[in-house]
Structure 1
Amino acid sequence: MSDEKRPLLIGPAIPFDNNESQTVELVSSSSPAKDDKSKSEYNPASERSLEHPTSNFDTLIHLLKGNIGTGILAMPDAFKNAGLYLGICGTLLMGVICTHCMHILVRCSRELCIRNQRPSMNFADVVEEAFAMGPIFLRPHAKKIRHVVDIFLVITQLGFCCVYFLFVATNLQDIMHIFHVNLGVHSYLALLFPPLLALGMVKNLKYLTPVSLIASLMTAWGLIITFYYILQDLPPTNTVKAFSSWHQLPLYFGTAIYAFEGIGVILPLENNMKTPEALGGAAGVLNTGMAIVAALYTAIGFFGYLKYGSHVLGSITLNLPGSALAQSARAAMAAAILLSYGLQLYVPVTVVWPMVKARLTTDAALEYGEAVVRFVLISITFMAAVMIPNLSAIISLVGAFSSSALALIFPPIIELVTFWPDRGWRLYKNVAIVIFGLTGFGFGTYASIQNILTYT
Structure 2
Amino acid sequence: MEKNPERIPLINPTPTPSPEGSASKFQTIGNIIVSIVGTGVLGLPFAFRIAGWLAGSLGVLVAGFATFYCMLLLVQCRDKLASEKEVQETITYGDLGYKCIGKPGRYMTEFLIFISQCGGSVAYLVFIGQNLASLFKGQMFSVASFIFLLVPIEIALSWIGSLAAFAPFSIFADICNVLAMGFVIKADIERASRGDFSFRDRKAITDNLGGLPFAGGIAVFCFEGFGMTLALEASMKERKTFPKVLGMAFAWITLVYVLFGIFGYMAYGDETKDIITLNLSKNWTAIAVQIGLCLGLIFTFPIMVHPVNEILEGKLKKNRWFQKLNNNDAEISVTGSGKVGIYIGRATLVISLAVLASYVPGFGVFASLVGSTVCALISFVLPASFHLTLMGSSLRVWQKALDCFILLCGLLFCSLWYI
Aligned pair in 2 of structure 1 residues 391, 10: CA closer, same or farther (>3 Å)? closer
Q: Report the alpha carbon displacement of residue 212 of structure 1 after superposing the two structures with TM.
A: 2.3
What are the Cα deviations for residues 92-121 of structure 1, in whole angstroms up to 9, with x where unaligned? Answer: 121111122122223322332342234213
Q: Contact 1:66–1:343 at 8 Å: present in 2 too?
A: no
* Separation in structure 1 between the aligned mates of residue 249 and residue 136 of structure 2, nearest angstrom: 34
Choose 145-154 or 54-63, whichever is displaced more: 54-63
Structure 1 position 322 matched with structure 2 position 282: yes
Q: Does 1:232 align with 2:190?
A: yes
- Cα shift at 1:323: 1.3
Residue 67 of structure 1 is matched in structure 2 by 36
Q: 2:380 aligns with which of 383, 408, 413?
A: 408
Q: Distance in 1 between matches of 2:237 and 2:344?
A: 34
Q: 1:128 aligns with which of 83, 98, 116?
A: 98
1:142 corresponds to which of 90, 95, 102: 102
2:402 to 420, 425, 429: 429
Pair 1:157-2:117 in alignment? yes
**Letter paired with 2:173:** A
RMSD: 3.0
Q: Once the 2 structures are TM-superposed, how far is the Cα of residue 58 of structure 1 from its aligned partner?
A: 6.0
8 Å contact 2:20–2:238 — kept in the other structure? no
> Percent of pairs identical after alignment?
22
Which one-letter code corresponds to 1:256 in the other structure? A
> How far does residue 337 in structure 1 lie from its aligned partner after superposition?
2.9
Q: Which residue, 258, 272, 293 being the options, matches 1:312? A: 272
Aligned to 2:243, the other structure's residue is in SS state: coil
Which residue of structure 1 aligns with residue 82 of structure 2? 113
Residue 414 of structure 2 is matched in structure 1 by 441
1:393 to 340, 350, 365: 365
Task: Note if contact 2:113-2:227 (Cα within 8 Å) is conserved in structure 1.
Answer: yes
* Map 1:41-440 → 2, pairs under 5 A: 46-47=17-18, 60-116=29-85, 117-129=87-99, 131=100, 141-177=101-137, 181-202=139-160, 206-234=164-192, 235-244=197-206, 245-270=208-233, 273=235, 275=237, 277=239, 280-282=242-244, 284=245, 286-359=246-319, 360-362=322-324, 364=326, 366=330, 367=334, 368=339, 370-424=342-396, 425-440=398-413
| Structure 1 letter corresponding to 2:296 | A
| Alignment length (residue pairs) | 396
What is the alpha-carbon distance in structure 2 between the residues aligned to residue 204 and residue 270 of structure 1? 24
In structure 1, C-alpha distance between the alignment counterparts of 2:81 and 2:163, rounded to whole Å: 24
Q: Distance in 2 between the 1:377 and 1:58 partners?
A: 33
Cα distance in 1 for partners of 2:56, 2:136 equals 33
CA positional deviation for 1:373: 4.2
Deviation at 1:208, TM superposition (A): 4.3
Q: Normalised by the size of structure 1, how large is the TM-score?
A: 0.78
Q: Match for 2:373: what amino acid? A: F
Separation (CA, whole Å) in 1 of partners of 2:201 and 2:365 = 25
**Counterpart-to-counterpart distance in 1, 2:168 and 2:392:** 42
- Deviation of 1:207 after TM superposition, in Å, equals 4.9
Write the deviation string for residues 322-365 of structure 1: whole angstroms up to 9, x where unpaired.
11122122222223333332332233334333233322423638
User: Is the CA contact 1:58–1:209 (under 8 Å) kept in the aligned structure 2?
Assistant: no
* Cα-to-partner distance string for 1:361-420 (whole Å, 9 max, x where unaligned): 236384225544433332222111112242221111111121111111111111111212
Could you tell me the TM-score, scaled by structure 2's length? 0.84
Q: Any gaps of 5 or more consecutive residues in structure 1?
A: 14-43, 132-140, 448-456
Residues 12, 86 of structure 1: CA spacing in aligned structure 2 closer, same or farther, 3 A cutoff?
Answer: closer
Change (3 A) 1:443 1:378: same
Alpha-carbon distance in 1 for matches of 2:178, 2:270: 26
Instruction: Give the partner amino acid of 2:66.
Output: I
Q: How far apart, CA to CA, are the structure 2 residues paired with 1:122 and 1:372?
A: 29
Cα distance between partner residues in 2 of 1:103 and 1:83 = 30
SS of corresponding position for 1:246: coil
Q: Distance in 2 between matches of 1:334 and 1:436?
A: 36
Paired residues of 2:376 and 2:410 also in contact (CA < 8 A): yes
Q: Distance in 1 between matches of 2:316 and 2:11?
A: 12
